[in-house]
Amino acid sequence: MKTSIKLPEETSWIIEESFFNPEWLGKYESIMCLGNGYMGQRATTEEQYLNEVRDTFVAGTFNKFDAKEVTELPNLPDLVQMKIKVNQESLDLTQGVISDYSRQLNLKTGELSRSFNWQTPGGADLSFHFSRFVSMDQLHVMGQKVTVKSLSGKIDVEIVSGIDGQQTNSGSQHFSEGEKHLFESRFMQMTSQTTQSAIDVVQTTVHQFSIPVERIKSRIEMRRRQIYTNYWLTLDEGEELRIEKLSTIHTSRDLEHEGRALKVIEATALSELKGAEKKGFDQLLRASAAAWERKVWRIAPIIITSSNPQDQVALNFAKYHLHVMTPAHDNRMNIGAKGLSGEGYKGHTFWDTEIFMLPYFTYTHPEIARGLLEFRYHGLHGAHRKAEGNGYEGAQFPWESAWIEDGETTPVWGAADIVTGKATKIWSGFIEQHITSDVAYGVNQYVEAVGDQHFLETKGYEIILDTAKFWASRLEWDDETQKYHINEVIGPDEYKEHVDNNAFTNYTAKWNIQKAIGIYEELEVSQPALLAQLSQKLDLERVYPEWLDKVAKLFIPQPNQELVIPQDDTYLSKKIIPLTSYKQDEQVGTLFHDYNLEQVNNMQITKQADVLLLIYLFENLFSEEVKRANWQYYEPKTMHDSSLSLSTHSALAADLGEIELSYDLFKEATNIDMGPSMTSSDEGIHAASLGGIWLMTVFGFGGVRALDGQLRINPHLPKAWQELRYSIFWHQNELEMLVTADQLIVTNKNQVSPVTFTSRGMEYTVVDSVTVSLN
């Protein structure tokens, strides 16, 4: 399939659209989105098109449209749009003649640029260049620059630009209209308020022109949910016009504005924009690029020497988006499944964070990882409310989380059933409960890698103990087996609903309870005062004996004679059908062209890694024979219809020595957003998959694991890679790994303390540098 995605070999920092196709707008709006963790902005063009989705989001500003819908990130009034007319003809690349077209996202600097020559239907020739950024240096600031040049005679130009609040989330309008102001005849400001959560949004914008103001006629307009200015001017042949549009966004949800009156926020926003205007677009862009280098690229870099240059681009692309989407500035917020790049999944947080994205931050930006886990701590009230509503104790984390006080935010109804024609009920919010142990797993992984005792004592212990308390109350006694079961759940494989004893759920619940028992017994000896404090809060003196009794009797699915671990009580008895044609289809979910979910529920078909994810996360529990037997059984039955799945399979394949298969899966995973399917990313990028690209590289080919608190480094490079250089942080030590086909060199760059690790069964201690032979 021909696409316009171009990955130039001469640079690993550029994503390019090499020709314009209006049918592919959604793809580029997502993969070229801009942001800084505070705000995210889809890469819509300045001019409007029929298929565009013009989204701007600010993290944490959730709102509920009405009682029938769940809360979602609202689409803010648009600041990007500019209506440009030349001799009364609107800029529209579906009309006239385009040449020399290029749109590029510079991953290193965060700059989105677009250039082309356009001949209007009326015959005027012009060149255009657009540049845009969302500042990584100043979280509230964004900038645009537009250059227009006449190539054939004098032309009349009309520009309409300002703030457009006539935006919706697929039809749902989340804002009440506020005040509009024009300050000093140049600074436009509009306030809006979310209808249910009552969050004030203040947007301010200003334009600067390169030609004298006397040559420009202008008129301010204030209409329903809009404030904008009309500009009229004339350009001579060969004359160039530059327009700089600088804007700021502030909200009453921002930490810095807590308790402030709206008028104070408005004044702060205007003052900041005036300061930005004095610096100008170019200086602001340079400062933002410098912040990208300082905050992202300089920290724990990854360099791949590969025969395929796209591998390095994929890593840079993943890291760029991980920082665009992550609200590092505020621990009351977390990462949405589509980041801040689209309306998919409504901006909600899933288990994707703990299992697929948190590891990147834990090992490279531990301060950000801590903030993401503090979000879970702040959400304990909602987790308690969910558990209590279901008749359980402790903390049952929501399957989908939004604002920290919202609790469960999973929609109840989803896509149509192709057989019944009715909406399908989304059971995940009710019975996909492994999220609770996933959160505990994320806490434990962070503490093991970082050694953050303060977090552990103030928040981490409580999360693990509280989630274990939930699991103990969730277990159901079975008289026939004389075991505790976990019935009526959905595991990671969401094609199997209402199953009993899902292996992933049962194993992780047991691990969660065992971890809590270990904490209780450790604190009993080392910190009895802290234990007493936690016990008073969580009633641990009563719960601890229950843990001891129930964990010993919790049913854990064991490998059968073929060493296959049953995914649940009935999976292995279900019908098997040929899946090759579905697995080879470049479109996801084509299985449901032929079957509905009820039918798939009764077949040995797995949506995404389930048992294999369990083996990947808890490899110490399973022998090599069991790992390989389950790989051979489940991999052919796994559709990878979730973007979460491929990275797990790639890393596990590397562990099993299937290096080239692992690399094939790596390439397939990197193509989810960057590949030839031009509709895969319409609703936003695949956040967990991007975290998975880092996982495949560092955990898979780099061989890094934390096993029971011990660091293991077992690298294995694919044939296409001559060298892999990456860094991680381990207990405040920055470790740089250089991997070739022959050796691993581990360098302790800051030498906070000696670090002990294992590699290929041997133990090493690195003070400054250690070389390990891989032959």
- List of residues 6+ apart from 15 with CB closer than 8 A: 5, 7, 31, 32, 104, 105, 107, 313, 317, 674
CA–CA gap between residue 372 and residue 370 (Å, rounded)? 5
Q: How far is CA 40 from CA 37, 65, 110, 481, in A?
A: 7, 21, 12, 52
Q: By CB neighbour count within 10 A (0-12 exposed, 13-18 middle, 19+ buried), where does 449 fall?
A: buried
Local structure of 522: helix, strand or coil: helix
- What is the phi/psi pair of residue 181, to 5°? -135, 150
- List of residues 6+ apart from 20 with CB closer than 8 A: 4, 93, 98, 101, 103, 116
Instruction: Extract the tokens encoding 428.
Output: 């995940």
CA–CA gap between residue 396 and residue 381 (Å, rounded)? 10
Q: Is 352 annotated as a binding residue?
A: yes
Output b/e per residue, 617-644; b: 16+ Cβ within 10 A. Answer: beeeebeeebbbbbbebbbebbbbbbbb
CA–CA gap between residue 706 and residue 332 (Å, rounded)? 27
SS (H, E, C) 13-67: CEEEECCCCHHHHHHHHHHCCEECCCEEECCCCCCCCCCCCCCEEECCCCECCCC
Contact 106, 114 (CB under 8 A): no
CA–CA gap between residue 507 and residue 539 (Å, rounded)? 24
- Tell me if residue 494 is catalytic: yes
- Containing H/E element for 668? helix 659-674
Amino acid (1-letter code) at residue 257: H
Which residue in the list 29, 46, 266, 494 is annotated as catalytic? 494
Local structure of 667: helix, strand or coil: helix
- Bridge partners of 231, per DSSP, are 159, 218
CA–CA gap between residue 725 and residue 697 (Å, rounded)? 10
Q: Is 483 annotated as a binding residue?
A: no
Q: Is 351 annotated as a binding residue?
A: yes
Q: How far is CA 524 from CA 150, 361, 519, 530, 531, in A?
A: 79, 32, 8, 9, 6
CA–CA gap between residue 423 and residue 152 (Å, rounded)? 57
Judged by phi (left if over 0) then psi (alpha if -120 to 50, else beta), residue 240 lies in beta
Residues in the chain, overall count: 775
- What is the phi/psi pair of residue 34, to 5°? -115, 160
Instruction: Extract the tokens encoding 44.
Output: 């819509």
Contact 764, 753 (CB under 8 A): no
- What is the phi/psi pair of residue 598, to 5°? -65, -40
Q: Is 319 annotated as a binding residue?
A: no
Q: Would you tell me how many other CB atoms lie within 10 Å of the CB of residue 713? A: 22
CA–CA gap between residue 114 and residue 103 (Å, rounded)? 4
Judged by phi (left if over 0) then psi (alpha if -120 to 50, else beta), residue 212 lies in beta
Local structure of 706: helix, strand or coil: strand
Which residues line the annotated binding site?
A: 351-352, 607-608
Which residues line the annotated binding site for substrate?
A: 351-352, 607-608
**Catalytic center residues:** 494
